[in-house]
Amino acid sequence: MNQPFSGFSKLSKEDKINWIADAYFSTPNEAISLLKKYWNSDAKIQKLHDEFIENTITNFYIPLGVAPNFLINGKYNTIPMAIEESSVVAAASKAAKFWSTRGGFKTKVINTEKIGQVHFLYKGDESKLDLFFIQTKAKFFTDTDSITTNMQKRGGGILDIELRDKTNLIDNYYQLHVTFETKDSMGANFINSCLEQFAKTLKEEAQNFDLFSETEKEIEVIMSILSNYVPNCLVRAEVSCPIEDLEEKHIPNPKEFAERFVQAVQIAEVEPYRAVTHNKGIMNGIDAVVIATGNDFRAVEAGVHAYAAHKGQYSSLSHAKIENGIFSFWLEIPLALGTVGGLTSLHPLVKLSLEMLENPSAEELMQFVAVAGLAQNFGALRSLTTSGIQEGHMKMHLNNILNQFEANEEESHEVRKYFKHHVVSHSAVVNYIESLRK
């Protein structure tokens, strides 16, 4: 394919697939067959999936699993997790069961404030702009009444609007920095609609402000957009128990385990190279629930990782301590989530996942997601500070290797039997499969 293709988006799905198969594959019929194999047999559901995005050619499946036995604030829950990585669901489930007999998880929503900004350039006297903003602030609210009415009925709306001077960063650069409450909606469309009206009001009112010179009246709006950095949309999840209660089969010395665990977390707090991988483990749990419930995991990832660096250096999202003989492990994390709108009312499996969670509010979903992240982190750190991460992970990865080499039932049985007592590595499994076939 050495030439651009004009009008691709106007082709039917069949024609798109045929063109791609002919342009890029040595065996076009095999490519077409594979793509169609992943279509949903229910035409109505397939049409729904086709319309989620543009230029759809097939469905890309990710497994949906569940992690049971999560005792959260005294109530048992089963958490849905959509993820393709081996051992994540198993680790979360194991951590959930471990803490279910030690008091369970405690959660608390600290705040639910979301952010949007109007970015603009103003060339003039800052004191005049300050006065203009003070006199115009009320109109920003009244001009968005038609947008905010329904949200206000649900207890949400615009919380505050600030004028921020950013001229120390870029010449003539200012912001309208706006905080919102969007209740059970993630609120992206609501926030952006408000911001675009603010931008319109800003420019129109500037034209009528008598103290501005002609140059000062020409405020240039660069963009109006919500922020995925939500440091004041915070939820806390934690577990704790007396050190001696940590004892189990794999933790024969709970005091030593607790001390090593705390040290492992402290390393992630001060060493960015470790913190990135540490936090990735947390996001394994968080993203899986965010995806299963139809939320935007890219937005969550961006906001969470920005928060991990909010003190000036990238650091651990979770923390641990031993105090008066009590082991405590917790995280505070920003999560802007929704349970209404978007895919939550369209995707059948999203609706199923939310029903499994008993149709939570956005605040309740924040707590489920935070707990999944903390559980996943606990599971990873427990492995790292005891047997090592690879032993459990590679045994879970064994299925992928067997599928990759199309092992039959007898070969799979022999491989699993052998590697119960031997170290699992990709090369070792491949060599053993080849020895069986010889």
Residue 191 contacts residue 144 (beta carbons within 8 Å): no
244: which DSSP letter? G
38-41: long-range contacts (C-beta < 8 A, 24 or more apart)? none
Cβ-Cβ contacts under 8 Å for 71 (sequence gap 6 or more): 77, 96, 99, 100, 103, 104, 105
Rounded distance, CA 375 to CA 357, Å?
17
- The closest of 281, 282, 300 to 290, measured between CA atoms, is 300
Catalytic residues: 85, 280, 296, 393
Cβ atoms of 237 and 371 within 8 Å: the answer is yes
d(CA 213, CA 295): 46
Q: How far apart are CA 406 and CA 416, in angstroms?
A: 14
Per this entry, what is the length of the chain?
Answer: 438
**Nearest-angstrom CA–CA distance, 279 and 294:** 22
User: Which of 167, 207, 196, 161 is CA-nearest to residue 180?
Assistant: 161
Burial of 170 (0-12, 13-18, 19+ CB in 10 A): exposed
**Closest C-alpha to 366, from 314, 300, 316:** 300
